Structure 1
Amino acid sequence: MQDPTLETPRRIERLAEVSNGYDAIFCDIWGVVHDGLAKHPAAERALTAARQAGVTVVLITNAPRKAAGVIAMLDSFGISREAYDHVVTSGDVTRALIAKAEGPVFHIGPERDVDLFEGLSVERTQDPGSARAVIATGLFDDETETPEDYRDLITAFRRNDLPMICANPDIVVHRGEKLVYCAGAVARAYEEAGGTVSMAGKPYPPIYAEAHRLAGTTGASRILGIGDGLATDIRGANDAGLDVLLITGGIHGKDFGDRPEDPAAVGGVLAEKGLAANFFMAALG
């Protein structure tokens, strides 16, 4: 495995320039494979070509839903199943934490995420006073709400010192050209208020352990992590010891200013955040 801290990241034009050096790819979905509304055809083609060359592709996402639901979404966008071997979601990993919850849980998140509880014996409640834990999968309405809208709920949860399980550590995600808040933003507000939060998605180890299990890999050697989220994809890949391909045109595009194609500028932004990457490109292709 190449140590990305030893050099400025290399700008590449195509994934194929480097993919033959890896046995597996752990690739983010939102912002890389699609934008929440439509697929990125070049990314689909690049991952399909990597698989055809013998690379195992695991899509790894902080979506707070089961893998089957994410696969259905990929299908709806017209993303070929030839582009990936497996899907690992924060939702699937989080279910193990939910199963251990004692007593009723209060769910913060949209109706589309309720399948996260399917098959689990945990009771749900809409009364903060009777809850024994909080499960955050998102905002109730991420089109209009912000974390500030949850201050009263957070105060109620803190009054009873409820633990929170966050099914999606992302703070924001792209939906078309718009950035919308995710469960991670609510979890951050809860932590700032003194609450306790458990997370299973990127950048935390459990989701990478599941990706390794599905890929049949036992270590970080010859695995490339691809993503656009600095605090989740890149931090997680760094902590897991993976080589890294940063997508600079994603949610952190503005961080790179007017020099998004300058290796020194990109490396400088990463270094400021204590991060590193081996390679970068504006969009996966």
Structure 2
Amino acid sequence: MPASPEELPAASEFGGIVPVAGVAALAHDYHGFILDQWGVLHDGTRPYAGAAECLQRLRAAGRRIVVLSNSGKRESDNLRLMARMGFDTALIDRFIAGGEHARGALQARADPFHSALGRRCYAFTRGGDRSLLEGIGLELVDRIAEADFMAVIGNDSPRRLVGDYETELQAGIARRLPMICANPDIARLTPDGITEAQGVLARRYEALGGEVFYHGKPYPAIYGSCLEALACAPDKVIAIGDSIEHDVLGAARVGIRSALIPGGVHAPELGIAWGELPTSEAWRAFAVHAAATPDYLLAAFNW
């Protein structure tokens, strides 16, 4: 259960960041909510306790809701996943995914980067699933030597970690191939813990000197669709997520407030479990190296 206001630590203990007992406290001041998926609503397999009810109560309060995910899959696939876990997806005004954003950019080719890519694509996938890139006029090739560009739409962690992809990445560098990344996340929550996400491949490619275009958080382009769907002023919008580098930094870049659930991908660094708030000492040590600062701390997505 959420802590009562009397049990919450003071904002002064967290450098002015306000700990809140539940989403109800945020719904009083904000009319539009941008919600992360993994680490906020569910762990990829099961919904977090109270999350489905909180979504219902937030909607009943008249608030608009966008789920913004760095998932490299289609938005329809993500909605089906949420429905299987028991979420009422009709409560969501819009689901926006990094994968769908990448697919749209490859179809439209409206900017210089994507218009120059060519049509032959080598894809890094999870389990061989290339469906995100099908039906949009691409030739999906099996050899980097045949590709015009590379697309990171998945990875096979923990079976294959970033070092296991070095041969493919070096082959792309040798041919100076551009890359798109449909999910900038570097860590992924699973029921068994945290493992690498596909963004680590793109970061490694950049470190080798490759050119990468990222689709998703924290890059501002994807937030335009969120704000359009929410149809309210940016100062009445708040993003809730579990990643400083993606949810909090992305919100800061477009001038909206954010609430961090610290027991997600940052739980090991903060020494906590999901649903807990860190000690002020642990937070201060963590915050020294953080890419951005949230406005609120929220133990869990509960009302």
Query: Shift in Å at residue 270 of structure 1?
Result: 3.2
Give the secondary structure class of the aligned counterpart of 1:284. Answer: coil
Give the secondary structure class of the aligned counterpart of 1:221. Answer: helix
1:256-283: per-residue Cα shift (whole Å, max 9, x none)?
2369444575366335324111111222
Matched, 1:280 2:288: no
Structure 1 window deviating more from structure 2 (85-94 vs 114-123): it is: 114-123
Give the secondary structure class of the aligned counterpart of 1:44. Answer: helix
> What is the one-letter code of the residue matched to 1:193?
L
Give the secondary structure class of the aligned counterpart of 1:173. Answer: strand
Q: 1:133 aligns with which of 126, 130, 149?
A: 149
Taking the aligned partners of 2:187 and 2:291, their CA distance within structure 1 comes to: 20
Contact 1:45 1:83 in 2 (8 A): no
> In structure 2, do the counterparts of structure 1 residues 82 and 13 end up closer, same or farther at CA, with 3 Å as the change threshold?
farther
Large movers: runs of 4+ above 4 Å: none
Give the secondary structure class of the aligned counterpart of 2:144. Answer: coil
Structure 1 window deviating more from structure 2 (29-38 vs 115-124): it is: 115-124
Contact 1:260 1:266 in 2 (8 A): no
Taking the aligned partners of 2:175 and 2:188, their CA distance within structure 1 comes to: 31
Q: 1:188 aligns with which of 183, 203, 206?
A: 203
Query: Shift in Å at residue 60 of structure 1?
Result: 0.3
Contact 1:173 1:180 in 2 (8 A): yes
**Alignment match, 1:45:** 53
> What is the one-letter code of the residue matched to 1:270?
A
Q: 2:179 aligns with which of 149, 152, 164?
A: 164
Query: Shift in Å at residue 252 of structure 1?
Result: 0.3
1:158-194: per-residue Cα shift (whole Å, max 9, x none)?
0110000000000111111322222201001101111
Seq. identity, %: 26
**Alignment match, 1:91:** 99
| Superposition RMSD in Å | 2.0
Contact 1:47 1:83 in 2 (8 A): yes
> What is the one-letter code of the residue matched to 1:232?
H
Q: 1:238 aligns with which of 219, 240, 252?
A: 252
> In structure 2, do the counterparts of structure 1 residues 268 and 9 end up closer, same or farther at CA, with 3 Å as the change threshold?
farther
**Alignment match, 1:27:** 35
Contact 1:28 1:61 in 2 (8 A): yes
> In structure 2, do the counterparts of structure 1 residues 82 and 130 end up closer, same or farther at CA, with 3 Å as the change threshold?
closer
1:109-128: per-residue Cα shift (whole Å, max 9, x none)?
12574221233011110110
> What is the one-letter code of the residue matched to 1:144?
R
Contact 1:106 1:131 in 2 (8 A): yes
**Alignment match, 1:177:** 192
Contact 1:267 1:276 in 2 (8 A): no
Structure 1 window deviating more from structure 2 (99-108 vs 85-94): it is: 99-108
Taking the aligned partners of 2:191 and 2:221, their CA distance within structure 1 comes to: 29
Give the secondary structure class of the aligned counterpart of 1:41. Answer: coil
Contact 1:48 1:84 in 2 (8 A): no
Structure 1 window deviating more from structure 2 (251-260 vs 21-30): it is: 251-260
TM-score of the pair, normalised by structure 1: 0.91
Taking the aligned partners of 2:37 and 2:123, their CA distance within structure 1 comes to: 24
**Alignment match, 2:224:** 209
Structure 1 segments unaligned to the other structure (5+ residues):
1-5
